[in-house]
Amino acid sequence: MGLAAMATTARGMAATVRVLGRGELGRFTGGSRSEVARFEQELGDVVGTRHALAVNSGTSALVAALVGAGVGPGDEVLVPAHTWVSTAAAALAVGAVPVLVEIDSSLTMDPADLKERLTPRSRAVIPVHMLNHVADMDAIMEVAADHGLVVIEDACQAVGVTYRGRRVGSIGHAGCFSFNQHKNIRAGEGGAVLTDDSALFERASMYHDVGSYSRSGFASSDADLIVGVNLRMPELSAAVLRPQLAALDTQLARRRRHRAVVLEALAGRVGRDLAPVPHHDPPAAAGLAVSFDAEPAAVEFGTGRGVHRLIDTGRHVYTNWRSLQARNPVHPALDPYAAVDAEIDHGPTACPRTLEVLARTCAVDLAPELPTPAFRALARRIAA
């Protein structure tokens, strides 16, 4: 771990001790000193949105955003076939049905296929910024505007990353982040909803806290109250996240440096048997994956340290979403498929191009926790 990462960790430890010392572990017991409230303000400032709502996971963020947008039974929500299963599961959680969309060579939702999958029931689209690779948001926003779709960015794997001068999570009608142990900033678990839409924020806020009707700042006096659940973020999570958020741009800069280091090490092979996966904003690229002409080469490359072949990542591939394929509602009376076309395809042939791309593509871990000199040695092993 580099000195900068160690310093950030130390600040997070100090913050948790401060919270424990006060004994105020819930966000509504801290009053003006609430770590969660401060984190929300700081996160909104960094991302550039009017509203930020901290919740307990990225999945909860997606569900709350869909509730906030009024998506529900009878609606279809378009999601990419390469993402964590929560993207699709969130639609089912609000009574809507997920519709699978192919990815393209960028590893993100294909805007052309998005158009082909639209029906009169299409209500929302959730583009996913996988592995810090940003979706083609200009094209997706254009399709959404033409067809009246709500756009909820799943930026869970790309916290802080930019797209043509804007932070992801601020481009669609809402954006969702995750802070679990694998994300750019992490607290074990945690998430957030970002938006400029005050009505969406108010509904999401009411939904994330079953007691919101009794608290100031979450529902206006003339709000149409809805019954919520408990998706609140605890104070300890926010205390851990705030120092990481302050150091986020430094960490992303290191990711970009490490990306350049790997590409330099692979230069002799680029154009011969592999190619870097394209980005929709190359100067801001903070993730790296490489594609191969043939699947066997990807299989071999994927066995190396610090890399993995994407088709092998289990629940990130739609063919492994067994709970989705089962179509077994929590109760027969709450079956989302009863309100839409039961023939929606979630089977293994739904998105063949996605499977072909993932089989030939390997992601490279850019290890921002490592000092760049140490990472150079790792890059040489990856290239070899």
Q: Are residues 85 and 36 in the same domain?
A: yes
Q: Are residues 164 and 19 in the same domain?
A: yes
CB 142 within 8 A of CB 116: no
Model confidence over 164-204: pLDDT tens digits?
A: 999 999 999 999 999 998 899 999 999 999 999 999 999 99
Is pLDDT above 60 for 1? no
Q: Are residues 228 and 254 in the same domain?
A: no
Which of 217, 247, 277 is where one domain is finished?
247
Model confidence over 277-296: pLDDT tens digits?
A: 999 999 999 999 999 999 99
Q: Are residues 58 and 111 in the same domain?
A: yes
Token digits of residue 154: 């799943």
Q: Are residues 243 and 122 in the same domain?
A: yes
Mean pLDDT along residues 44-69: 98
Q: What is the pLDDT of residue 17?
A: 65
DSSP conformation letters of 229-284: -B-BPPHHHHHHHHHHHHTHHHHHHHHHHHHHHHHHHTTTTBTTTEEEPP-SSGGG
Q: Are residues 255 and 210 in the same domain?
A: no
How many angstroms separate the Cα of 249 from the Cα of each of 51, 75, 345, 365?
21, 38, 40, 18
338 assigned to some structural domain: no
Q: Are residues 227 and 256 in the same domain?
A: no
Q: Are residues 156 and 180 in the same domain?
A: yes
Burial class (CB in 10 A: 0-12, 13-18, 19+), 19: buried
Q: Which residues pair with 98 in a beta bridge?
A: 77
Q: Are residues 215 and 288 in the same domain?
A: no
333 assigned to some structural domain: no
Given phi > 0 = left and psi -120 to 50 = alpha, else beta, which region is 232? beta
Q: Are residues 160 and 123 in the same domain?
A: yes
* Structural domain boundaries enclosing 60: 3-247
Model confidence over 4-45: pLDDT tens digits?
A: 666 666 676 676 767 666 767 677 765 668 899 999 999 999
| Least confident residue range of 22-36, 59-73, 98-112, 270-284 | 22-36
Q: Give the span between the Cα atoms of 313 and 367, in whole angstroms.
A: 18
49: helix, strand or coil: coil
| Least confident residue range of 29-33, 37-41, 125-129, 150-154 | 29-33
Domain total of the chain? 2
Q: Are residues 64 and 41 in the same domain?
A: yes
Is pLDDT above 60 for 342? yes
31 assigned to some structural domain: yes
DSSP conformation letters of 167-232: ETTSSSSEEEEE-STTSSS--SS-EEEEES-HHHHHHHHHHHBTTGGGSTTSS-TT-------B-B
Q: What is the pLDDT of residue 3?
A: 58
Mean pLDDT along residues 43-65: 98
% of the chain at pLDDT higher than 90? 82
Model confidence over 222-232: pLDDT tens digits?
A: 778 899 999 99
